Homo-oligomer: A and B are copies of this chain.
Amino acid sequence: MDMVTSINTEHSRTHRYLPPDRPNNDIRQFGVSGLMATLKSCTLLSDIANSRTLAAGETLFWEDDPIQHIYFLVDGTMKAYKLLPNGRSQITRFITSGDIITSPLTNNYAYSAEALGSCSILQFPQKRFNNILANDPSLLKSVFGKQSIELQQAQKQILLLGRMPAIERVSNFLLEIAQRQNPKTTRFEAGLVITLPMARADIADYLGLTIETVSRAFSKFRRDGLIDLPRPNLVRLRDQTRLREQSASHAS
């Protein structure tokens, strides 16, 4: 579902943009972020990269600020959110390790970004990053692919916010987090424990609900035997199948 097709890069060898003396099978992964780039690009990227760490609650940048750097999240969890004049906030997504924090091709940040726990990030000056990007199709394609996945997730979120009742939003959220934290495990595994890196207020701002409604949904799932809540941010999924049934509107 989140898969991305691979551009046929083998073909490139015979293409005039890649001279024969420069085969592009030297494409490799850059850093831990899942970016693919040529060996040359990796070197160039290393030269301009900076590692940073963020403390819990620290803001990396604000919505509408002019973009100075492109960031990648190496470790931790962040939130990307937008504010309304009356102070209401909406989290557009939770950013996890390997994610691009910002789109390279825009002039201003589309949202504010804040660390939920302590985070480690990679930072690149935008212009220099984009120069490397413009000359390395494999890197460009890799960043493009990550953004395609982000767009698909945004579209799912639009469906959730526009057409799902509160209970479904919360169960969807739990299953989404479970999936992210355990990409390998079968989805029907019982007793899976997940750690919520964010507070109830953040879950509410992500799902377009209030803290109270989120809390009531958690309590209902606990009463119904679908989850345990040993601590507020520790959730044991006792019955993932039934939880999944809560997460989609069924035929009327």
Contact = CB atoms under 8 A, between A and B. Distances in A.
A7 B82 contact: no
Interface in A143-161: 143-145, 147-148, 150-152, 154-159, 161
Given A17-B18, A154-B155, A159-B82, A141 B105 contact: yes
A64 to B, nearest CB: 9
A230 interface: no
A185 interface: no
A25 to B, nearest CB: 14
A155 to B, nearest CB: 5
Contacts of A152: 103, 106, 110
A188 to B, nearest CB: 19
Contacts of A157: 158
B84 A5 contact: no
Nearest to A86: B249
A108 interface: yes
- Copies assembled: 2
A221 B54 CA distance: 47
Chain A interface category by residue count: 35 or more
B155 A82 contact: yes
B137 A147 contact: no
B11 A135 contact: yes
A147 B151 contact: yes
A134 B88 contact: no
A206 to B, nearest CB: 8
The listed residue with most B CB atoms (<10 A of its CB), out of A7, A16, A82, is A7
A57 interface: no
Contacts of A90: 158-159, 162-163
Interface in A205-221: 205, 207-208
A250 interface: yes
Q: Which 4 residue pairs across A and B have the least CB separation, nearest first?
A: A162-B208, A7-B134, A161-B161, A86-B249
Interface of A: 1, 3-5, 7-9, 11-12, 15-19, 22, 40, 67, 82, 84-90, 92, 103, 105-108, 110-111, 126-127, 130-131, 133-137, 140-141, 143-145, 147-148, 150-152, 154-159, 161-164, 205, 207-208, 248-252
24 contacts: A3-B107, A5-B105, A7-B130, A7-B134, A11-B131, A11-B135, A17-B135, A18-B135, A82-B158, A84-B249, A86-B251, A89-B163, A90-B162, A92-B158, A103-B151, A105-B148, A140-B141, A140-B144, A144-B144, A144-B147, A147-B147, A147-B151, A151-B151, A161-B162
